[in-house]
């Protein structure tokens, strides 16, 4: 199932893309609906470096916070593994992803370690 996730970190993206009502959507005039913390421009490497405290602080008030830091890291590890499998990364991007994954290879969470290991294996297959 991991390859099917692609570069998605949180499932709401897919729901937003396929919702038939969104074709009528307009930008909300209320700041509460603005993109926060530069998430629309953030790289997976930068997001993967967030500590639990960074995650809790930056995701405060966001539905994303419900998944928790551990699942956030798992999802990003999968997305980075899929990026390593895909063609089109330059050497610098590839190196940055591998370095970020290696930095969490000994994460306290067995869940995160398992997905980091898988992601690193994807880089070895290309």
Instruction: Give the start-to-end residue ranges of the domains of the chain.
Output: 10-124
Q: What is the pTM of this model?
A: 0.84
Q: 34 vs 84, which has greater pLDDT? A: 84
d(CA 106, CA 77): 13
d(CA 109, CA 118): 14
Contact (CB, 8 A) for 86 and 32: no
Is pLDDT above 80 for 76? yes
pLDDT at 88: 81
> Tokens 């390593």 identify what position?
84
> Tokens 């530069």 identify what position?
38
Split at pLDDT 50, 70, 90, the class of 54 is: very high
pLDDT at 104: 97
């Amino acid at each position: 199932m991991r390859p099917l996730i692609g570069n998605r970190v949180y499932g709401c993206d897919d729901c937003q893309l396929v919702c038939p009502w969104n074709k009528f959507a307009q930008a909300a005039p209320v700041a509460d609906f603005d993109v926060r913390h530069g998430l629309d421009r953030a790289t997976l490497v930068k997001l993967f470096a967030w500590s639990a405290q960074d995650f809790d602080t930056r995701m405060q008030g966001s539905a994303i916070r419900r998944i928790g830091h551990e699942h956030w890291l798992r999802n990003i590890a999968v997305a980075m593994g899929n990026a390593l499998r895909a063609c089109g990364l330059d050497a610098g991007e590839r190196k940055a992803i591998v370095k970020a994954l290696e930095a969490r290879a000994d994460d306290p969470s067995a869940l995160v370690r398992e997905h980091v290991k898988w992601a690193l294996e994807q880089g070895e297959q290309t």
